[in-house]
């Protein structure tokens, strides 16, 4: 179940680049990211308030357990570290999508996130990823490389796609990797908070509210007139509600049951879904080799998402009962007495 929650969250995340491409023309990627997390933070605060009400003292739990569920994330260094990761991801991701296109930008950002998260997780002593994660990430990484290097051919997407030749722009790729580092930072940080007993909705609300505060100068320094247009307002609402508030509640709930590295690999469903949306909605055309890369990426997700069947333990053969000790052995029964013939 936790893996399915993260996969559903990844599908919601995948609409981010497409929504930006279809949004108001001329909107700065920085202000788009800020608008997204402002609306998302409001939605997450509402979700946190509703969850806190449901987890009140009338929930029927023992006092200690109820207190653990009501635990909110205090304003510590971890909170601001996670908020910085959120802010970095928003700006770097939207800039990457603007420079190198929805398909390539999303694939590189989310495709490199498992490796970055696994490495940072080991440095933070949150455990070493297992062999299953390594196999899944290897398959998905190979698919990512093929999908990225194959590039795209044809029309180019609206809102800053790559050129007609499908060239992958190095600056956009570097920004996408920076977005992956931001993603890994807040994933590992909120994992610590969840492990300590914080409620998922409260964690995400605090994280995104902090990120909105860090990016707030963008709304004062950059033009935000696009928010007053119907398309711009709809874009901000969609980005804040679906790939932020809804997606991150699902993500945080799923993250309680898996490691941060495993969650990062599962979110590779996002670039795969984003590539499909880029083709179907935006008219981007993937090179033929990219189909093989997408298949490898999907295989990696299947390896990690499908639960393994536990082999039934062999029934132990009954041990032979030990022979009784001579000292404890019962004496043989005396033969029945026989009457002598008269």
- Residues 174-201: what's their mean pLDDT? 87
Given this model, what pLDDT does residue 178 score? 92
pLDDT, tens digit (0-9, with 9 covering 90-100), for 122-161:
776 655 666 777 777 778 778 777 766 665 444 443 333 3
Three-state SS across the chain? Answer: CHHHHHHHHHHHHCHHHHHHHHCCCCCCHHHHHHHHHHHHHHHHHHHHHHHHHHCCHHHCCCHHHHHHHCCCCCCCHHHHHHHHHHHHHHHHHHHHHHHHCHHHHHHHHHHHHHHHHHHHHHHCCCCCCCHHHHHHHHHHHHHHHHHHHHCEECCCCCCCCCCCCCCCCHHHHHHHHHHHHHHHHHHHHHHHHHHCCCCHHHHHHHHHHHHHHHHCHHHHHCCCHHHHCHHHHHHHHHHHHHHHHHHHHHHHHHHCCCCHHHHHHHCCHHHHHHHHHHHHCCCCEECHHHHHHHHHHHHHHHHHHCCCCCCCCCCCCCCCCCCCCCCCCCCCCCCCCCCCCC
pLDDT at 36 over 70: yes
Instruction: Name the average pLDDT for the chain.
Output: 75
pLDDT at 174 over 80: yes
Given this model, what pLDDT does residue 143 score? 77
Would you kindly state where each structural domain of the chain is located, as residue ranges? 2-305
pLDDT confidence band for 294 (50 / 70 / 90): confident
């Amino acid at each position: 179940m936790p893996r399915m929650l993260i996969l559903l969250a990844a599908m919601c995340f995948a609409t981010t680049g497409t929504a930006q491409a279809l949004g108001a023309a001329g909107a700065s990627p920085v202000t788009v990211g800020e608008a997204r997390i402002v609306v998302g933070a409001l939605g997450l605060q509402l979700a946190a308030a509703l969850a806190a009400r449901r987890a009140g003292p009338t929930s029927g739990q023992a006092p200690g357990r109820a207190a653990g569920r009501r635990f909110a994330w205090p304003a510590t260094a971890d909170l601001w570290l996670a908020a910085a990761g959120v802010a970095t991801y928003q700006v770097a991701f939207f800039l990457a999508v603007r420079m190198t296109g929805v398909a390539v930008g999303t694939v590189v950002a989310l495709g490199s996130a498992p490796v970055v998260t696994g490495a940072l997780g080991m440095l933070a002593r949150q455990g070493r990823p297992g062999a299953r994660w390594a196999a899944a990430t290897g398959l998905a990484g190979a698919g990512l490389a093929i999908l990225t290097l194959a590039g795209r051919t044809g029309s180019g997407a609206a809102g800053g796609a790559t050129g007609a030749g499908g060239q992958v722009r190095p600056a956009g790729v570097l920004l996408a990797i920076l977005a992956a580092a931001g993603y890994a930072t807040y994933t590992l940080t909120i994992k610590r908070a969840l492990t300590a007993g914080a409620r998922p909705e409260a964690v995400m609300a605090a994280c995104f509210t902090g990120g909105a505060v860090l990016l707030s100068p963008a709304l004062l320094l950059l033009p935000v007139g696009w928010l007053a247009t119907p398309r711009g307002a709809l874009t901000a609402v969609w980005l804040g509600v679906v790939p932020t508030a809804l997606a991150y509640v699902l993500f945080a709930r799923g993250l309680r049951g898996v490691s941060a590295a495993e969650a990062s690999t599962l979110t590779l469903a996002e670039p795969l879904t984003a590539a499909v949306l880029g083709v179907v909605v935006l008219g981007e055309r993937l090179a033929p080799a990219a189909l093989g890369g997408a298949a490898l990426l999907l295989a990696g997700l299947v390896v990690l998402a499908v639960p393994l069947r536990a082999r039934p333990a062999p029934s132990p053969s009954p041990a032979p009962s030990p022979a009784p000790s001579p000292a404890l052995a019962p004496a043989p029964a005396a033969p029945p007495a026989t009457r002598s013939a008269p």
